[in-house]
Amino acid sequence: MERLTGLMRGLALAAVAAVAAWPGAAIAQQEVKIGYALAAAPDSHYGVAAAKWQEVVEAGTDGRYTFRHFPSSGLGGEREVIEGVQLGTIEATIVSSGTLSNFVPDTGVFDIPFLFRDLQHARAVLDGPIGQEILEKFDQVGLVALAWGEQGFRHITNNRNAIATPEDIAGLKLRTMENPTHITAFETLGAAPTPMAWPEVISALQQGTIDGQENPLSVITSAKLSEVQEYLTLSGHVYSPAMLLVSKQLWDQMSPEDQQVFRDGAAQGVAAMRAFVDDVEKTGAEKLREEGMEIGELSAEQKAAFQEALGAAYEQYYQTYSKELIDRIIATE
């Protein structure tokens, strides 16, 4: 009996030592608060990505990690949410590139207008060495960037007039993201860019304090912008990436196995997000036309006129980001 008690004490001590050696092992259950700007699944590309991420993580960790969703900016604007993830008060998020360059400046290179030829080009760059190098830089600002997601190409909506030439946006009060690369572009084109956090945009459009905004079809449809905007110009002026982030505090307490499950879940979330975007790129414009929007699409020549009008902005971009980096992006197949 005495030998048995000794053995049990030994086992208990070994278990305590194992827990002390690996803090993650002590976690019975951890809630992962995930915040994002648009509707929960299945009504937005953010929602479907977050739901897939959750499914993979909850299954792969036998429910030790459970996700709690805060869709539709339930935890605030994207900048606030990223700061929350940095502090560890929010565990995960999926965000646009809107404010990311304020955290890792190189991220802004992807926000250069007309940089990417098409979705395949953008995905090849983001999934390849350039995209991965930039993800790794988030480590230096206390964030763990697991993967690049996507929103699609951005288009302009407004209530003032149809747009076919750069002159058509002269003086247009256009909400932009709080993104220096975008602001420079619209200033150069002669619009009146008004940077604003997303949660304020719908009411600003309703009240007429801004004439328009720009976002991909995924956002225009999910946020029901046809209810507050008359004209849609399929300008495809810039690609809009997204990013899946988790807090370093959460990451550092996980075992390498659980970290791998989070990585796999993020990769599958991205696949679901891109499938949603592929679909809405095909069907979104027709849906918006049926909902009453007046839609025009820039031809290749009209896009070229916008690119030419952006000349001074491109000079600034070459000063901000290295020419070598921009050339590597353009050369990616």
Binding site for ligand PAF (CB under 6 A): 37, 78, 96, 98, 151, 177, 198, 215, 219, 240
Residue 40: CB minimum distance to ligand PAF, A: 14
Q: In what helix (H) or strand (E) does residue 193 lie, and over which residues does it extend? A: strand 192-195
Residue 216: CB minimum distance to ligand PAF, A: 7
Compare residues 61 and 213 and give the one whose CB is closer to ligand PAF.
Answer: 213
- 162 vs 232: CA distance, rounded Å: 7
Q: How far is the CB of 313 from ligand PAF (least distance, A)?
A: 19
* Residue indicated by tokens 């709080």: 178
- For ligand PAF, the closer CB: 215 or 233: 215
**Least gap, CB of 198 to ligand PAF (angstroms):** 4
**What count of residues does the chain have?**
333
The closest of 313, 308, 274, 297 to 112, measured between CA atoms, is 313
Q: How far is the CB of 315 from ligand PAF (least distance, A)?
A: 26
CA distance 320 to 123: 23
Of residues 37 and 56, the one with the C-beta less far from ligand PAF: 37
Answer whether 222's CB lies under 8 Å from 287's CB.
no
Alpha carbon separation from 246 to 33, 73, 89, 91, 94 (Å, rounded): 10, 17, 11, 6, 9
**Closer to ligand PAF by Cβ: residue 61 or 97:** 97
State both tokens at 261. Answer: 């499950």
**Cβ at position 236, least distance to ligand PAF in Å:** 14
Contact 61, 24 (CB under 8 A): no
Specify the residue, 61 or 179, whose C-beta has the smaller distance to ligand PAF: 179
CB of 176 to ligand PAF, least distance (A): 8
Minimum distance of ligand PAF from residue 75's CB (angstroms)? 13
Element (H or E) spanning 69, and its range?
A: strand 65-70
The candidate with the shortest Cα–Cα distance to 245, out of 123, 111, 103, 130, is: 103
Query: Would you say 54 or 215 has its CB closer to ligand PAF?
Result: 215
Comparison of 61 and 93: residue with beta carbon closer to ligand PAF: 93
> 307, 113 in Cβ contact below 8 A?
yes
Nearer Cβ to ligand PAF (39/267): 39
Residue 42, preceding peptide bond in cis (omega within 30° of 0): yes
At a CB cut-off of 8 Å and minimum separation 6, what does 109 contact? 115, 181, 317, 321, 325, 326, 329
Residue nearest to ligand PAF according to CB distances in the complex: 96
Give 292's contacts (C-beta < 8 A, 6+ positions apart): 226
* 79's tokens: 């900048």
Helices (H) and strands (E) in the chain, counts: 13, 9
